[in-house]
Amino acid sequence: MSYRFVYPTGEIATLTPDQHTAMNTVADRWRLGSPVEVVEVSPMFGGDGAIVVNVGSMWLAVEPDGYTHS
């Protein structure tokens, strides 16, 4: 499934290709887009381009190189 990642303002999130691939994996694994294919992400404060996404019980950060961690 292809997702659209947006900031809380509704603006389309700017992701690196590696972040986009990692976010698609996260969204599939955690079923974040069900039933809609839009996933809200936020920039990580002091994260040098990292974004964060709430997956229900925790927040996951995705670095610009695609590395994903909680």
- Domain map (residue ranges) of the chain: 4-69
The reported pLDDT for the residue numbered 8 is 92
What is the SS3 assignment for 10? coil
The reported pLDDT for the residue numbered 61 is 94
What mean pLDDT comes out for the span 40-68?
Answer: 92
Question: What does DSSP say about strands 51-54 and 59-62: parallel, antiparallel, or unpaired?
Answer: antiparallel
14, pLDDT greater than 80: yes
Residue 61 near residue 44 (C-beta atoms within 8 A): yes
Nearest of 35, 36, 27 to residue 56 by alpha carbon: 27
Q: Name the more confident of 57 and 34.
A: 57
Amino acid letter for position 16: T
What mean pLDDT comes out for the span 22-49?
Answer: 86
The reported pLDDT for the residue numbered 62 is 95
35, pLDDT greater than 80: no
57 backbone dihedrals φ, ψ, rounded to 5°: -100, -5
